[in-house]
Amino acid sequence: MRRCPNCNEELQDYDKVCTNCGAFLDVVPEQLDEEIKEEEPVKEIKESKKNRNLWNQYPITEERPKEKQEKKRKFYWKLPILLLIIAILFYTASKVTEIIKLKDNILPITKIFKTLGIISGIGTIPSLFIVILIFLIKRSPSKLMEPREILNANASPTEQRRMAYVGNHYVKISRKKFSIPAFIGNVFYVIYRKRYLLGLTGVIILILLIGLSQYFSWLTIILIIYVLLTSFLLGFTFNKKYLIKVTKKAKKIRDKKKDLNAEEIIKVYQKKGGTDLFFTIIILVLFIIISLILNSMVLPKFPKKEKKEEIKVDTLYISKKENCKAYSESVSTRYQEENKEIHEINCYLGDEKYLIFETIDLKTNESYIAKYNINQQLGQLSLINTTQQLDELKEKKLQGTIQNEELTDLTEKEKIENEFNEFDEKIKKDQEEYKKDNTYVRNYIKIKLNK
């Protein structure tokens, strides 16, 4: 077992290229041979299985335990990723429940999901900054291969140019068909690899979808589909497309810089290519800030079209009104024959069905209130009582000359008078109850008659 002289990655004895940084291992054959020879005596030492323990499973240098410790230190990436995933899940759940609109469009759980999503999203920002800071502090900068090492490598000129342009992870990118960084990083990994136009276009589309989803809820589903689709497409196609683009760019640079020698042009490839972590972080931070501003609905929303209220036809009330109108016209015709005039008739078609109205005697110009009972089965009207001579009975009551029979008649007449005066209020209350609940049954009806 040997290690890469560039990044100290563990390699197999037969490896000619570092699987981590892409460095070619046969650049300085003499040194590699010496290292292999130095390791041979260690391999010859055989320990019995009985004497082995956890302490002597590794060489004295204890390099392997250190590597395990370094891997354990990478746990700090889990926090922002976890917060971001929680934020996306809760926010998506809030939008889905908002679109579904169950039970009178009131979903308290929608507000809970949205609040948790916003809190998780806000928590992602400081945790991400801290993680990036820790990563940059603890991360040892990858040493690029020297131009002479690339030129001495056992590779074709085209592959040497691509290796110089891509950087340390060339071997991984050239060998793997599926790119995990592109799948996770999405358009931000594209920017990281200096594909600025494609990456920034993707970021702008994301921002537009996030902003418009505040006005059109269904766009949230489109946003989720877009993110998933781009992640899978980039994961499966980025490495191949990226290497094709790198080959074309390297060829253009070589055609333009024909006056440079081999080492100088390799340096140009390394400068033009590689990665851009600083610009990627700036774009990511701006994207998160803009997304939070849009999500907090600081921007004015488009005015929503007011939905026209569905008017439910109360067929039962219409039928009652038609019946009341028929009875009213019948009464009006009869009173007209007696030279009496009626302007409007109040009708109640509940349990106790009756007509109550005010009529004027055109001869004497006197008015009184009459109440008729309705017998729907027989289609007949029968007079209950009127308020004629009401004033005379009231006068007798004041003088104390009223008889018991007259007192009973006075009570009935006053009851009819009060009922007529309160009828408009009962109609109004009937309508208000129906507005609150259109299943409410209305019984109070007013019929206006033509003069």
Give the contacts of 297 (CB within 8 A, at least 6 positions apart): 214
Q: What is the 3-state secondary structure (H, E, C) of 187-208?
A: HHHHHHCCCHHHHHHHHHHHHH
**11 alpha-carbon distance from chain centroid:** 47
Count of CA atoms in the C-beta half-sphere (13 A) of 440:
13
- What pLDDT does residue 26 have? 58
Give the contacts of 292 (CB within 8 A, at least 6 positions apart): 118, 121, 122, 125
**Ordered mean pLDDT values, 10 residues apiece, the chain (451 residues):** 71 70 56 39 44 41 43 55 71 66 54 68 63 59 70 78 83 86 89 90 90 81 89 91 89 85 84 86 86 65 51 81 89 89 90 90 89 86 90 88 88 91 92 88 88 59
- What pLDDT does residue 130 have? 65
**Among 183, 154, 235, CA closest to 163:** 154
Q: How far is CA 242 from CA 11, 18, 78, 226, 344, in A?
A: 26, 20, 28, 21, 87
The single residue listed with the structure tokens 């849009």 is 294
Residue 235 phi, psi dihedral angles, 5° rounding: -60, -40
- What pLDDT does residue 370 have? 92
Residue 118, judged by CB atoms within 10 A of its CB (0-12, 13-18, 19+), counts as: middle
- What pLDDT does residue 113 have? 67
Domain borders along the chain are 1-46, 141-299, 315-448
- What pLDDT does residue 48 have? 45
- What pLDDT does residue 445 have? 92
Contact, 154 vs 26, CB < 8 A? yes
211, two tokens: 């902003």
442, two tokens: 């209305």
Axis-axis angle for helices 196-212, 219-256 (nearest 10):
170
- Rounded CA-CA distance 303/317 in Å is 37
Whether the model clears a pTM of 0.85, i.e. scores above it, the answer is no
How is the beta sheet containing 367-375 ordered, strand by strand? 380-386, 367-375, 353-361, 340-349, 444-448
